[in-house]
Amino acid sequence: MRQCEASILATHGQCLTTRLYAESMWLPRIDTPRCTGCGWCVAACPPHVLSLQVDDGRKHAELHDVPGCTGCRKCERQCPFSVISMVKVDDGHERF
Ligand code: SF4
Ligand code: SF4
């Protein structure tokens, strides 16, 4: 398991495990090094599950509430720099 997956599971526990592994879902994948931290995606997200985080003094968008994401793609459409791509997560694996 990758470190990011372990971190998400540690935070969200059984609810996320159940949803991720029981059904297919679409989630935004954010290419963090290319993210400018402009916040357009954060403002566009209806359930407010995206936020700006700061690492080493640099802002970037992050999906902080994975189970709350509806897969609506508004963040992907709003990003002016095409930093977000939607990926299908099926049985715990990304599908392209
Ligand atoms: S897909 Fe929709 S709900 Fe999920 S993070 Fe993007 S805007 Fe928010
Ligand atoms: S809209 Fe794109 S560049 Fe701006 S914060 Fe979101 S992912 Fe980063």
Per DSSP, the residues of 37-52 read ---HHHHH-TT--EEE
Q: In the numeric block, which tokens belong to residue 41?
A: 């995606």
Mind listing the pLDDT tens digit for each residue in 4-30? Answer: 555 555 555 544 544 554 568 999 999
- What whole-number distance in Å separates Cα of residue 62 and Cα of residue 96? 20
CATH of domain 27-87: 3.30.70.20
31 lines ligand 2 (CB under 6 A): no
Residue nearest to atom 4 of ligand 1 (CA): 69
User: Does the reported pTM lie above 0.75?
Assistant: yes
Residue-range domain boundaries for the chain: 27-87
pLDDT computed for residue 90 by the predictor: 80
Centre of ligand 2 to C-alpha 61, Å, is 6
Centre of ligand 1 to C-alpha 56, Å, is 25
Residue nearest to atom 2 of ligand 1 (CA): 72
Residue nearest to atom 8 of ligand 1 (CA): 45
Whether the per-residue pLDDT at 39 is higher than 80: the answer is yes
* Cα Rg, the chain, nearest whole Å: 13
